[in-house]
Amino acid sequence: MQKLSIIIPMYNEEESLSYLYERLLSLSKKLENYELEILFVNDGSTDNSLEIVKKFREKDKRVCYINLSRNFGKEIAMGAAFDFVTGDAVVIMDADLQDPPELVLEMLKHYECGYDDVYAKRKSRNGETFLKKFTSKVFYKILQCIASVEIQKDTGDFRLLSRRAVDALRSFPEKQRYTKGMFSLIGFKKKAVYFDRDPRIAGTTKWNYFKLIDLAIEGILSFTIVPLRLASFTGIMLSFISFIYMSIVFGKTIICGVETPGYASIICIMLFLGGIQLIFLGIIGEYLGRIFIEVKQRPLYFVEEYCGSEEVKIKDKV
């Protein structure tokens, strides 16, 4: 019998958990050919989320949990889950029921046909602001233009992965993670299933615009060096234009003699070039900062407590 694992990163989700668990229970009744593991990753919640999960565990040994030592963010919480999950097929799902658990049945059908990454594509996104939908659309357009990997549109982390896809994801050593791009990088056979994204069942979103901008910059910088190329290209263009302008000024001075006016143009050019230089210095700095973080080789996360499959303990991860 194959094992299906559902991993659920959670950060202060006490209000949604009981609804989620109920939906998962009704899903489990429909899973005839699979053994189930539900792996909650507590990402440093400050509310009662962990206690609630522990209560589920007391009654139901299919529920497992990892308690991270603090809040590391969803990307790293997923990374931790990949290390601890034991299933042959692994589903990533949000704790707020924005990802309908029933869709897993459809995903499994494709998994059984040999697909390694069955991702859920949103037909609609209810309960999200116009601004969020618009900015995310613009971001993915830009990313698609400049990054060399194809990133699926209207797709989040909700997906089913085969064991070999999970192992591939685990082999990425990077500390700054943009998992959505990594799903594309690993390749394997992919298949979309469609769903309507519901609003959150309870609680509020854990993302604010600062975090989203951070994720967006991460997405671009960790998948492409096009911004650096742009810097070189702009530099070459500007040098070329300056050279032509210099020749004109030089020629004019030789033919017509010294010309005194020019204060305004010099100031404009200086400010413009100063601005361009600072922007590109910033871009180089962003990459340099990432190199700095990677070379430190710090561990990705720390686990305070793990409760679940014996297999994992044997592997000596905790």
Contacting residues toward Mg ion, per CB under 5 A: 94, 96, 98
**What is 294-318 written as a DSSP string?**
HHTT--S--EEEEES-HHHHHTT--
Using rule CB under 6 A, residue 79 touches ligand UDP: no
Stretch that binds ligand UDP, among 203-211, 234-242, 278-286, 308-316 (CB under 6 A): 203-211
Give which of 202, 199, 158 is closest to 13, Cα–Cα: 202
Using rule CB under 6 A, residue 14 touches ligand UDP: no
User: Could you identify the residue written with the tokens 């050593």?
Assistant: 173
Using rule CB under 6 A, residue 9 touches ligand UDP: yes
Taking each helix axis from N to C terminus, what angle separates 209-221 and 263-295, rounded to the nearest 10 degrees? 80
Stretch that binds ligand UDP, among 5-13, 31-39, 213-221, 277-285 (CB under 6 A): 5-13
Using rule CB under 6 A, residue 77 touches ligand UDP: yes
Q: What's the longest Cα–Cα distance across the chain?
A: 94
- Among 134, 188, 207, 245, which residue sits at the site for ligand UDP (rule: CB under 6 A)? 207
- The site for ligand UDP, by CB under 6 A, has a size of 16
Separation of CA 158 from chain center: 11
Using rule CB under 6 A, residue 53 touches ligand UDP: no
Stretch that binds ligand UDP, among 67-75, 187-195, 226-234, 264-272 (CB under 6 A): 67-75
C-alpha span between 273 and 291 (Å, rounded): 27
Give which of 93, 84, 145 is closest to 118, Cα–Cα: 93
Using rule CB under 6 A, residue 219 touches ligand UDP: no
Positions that interact with ligand UDP (CB under 6 A): 9-11, 13, 43, 71, 73-74, 77, 94-96, 98, 205-207
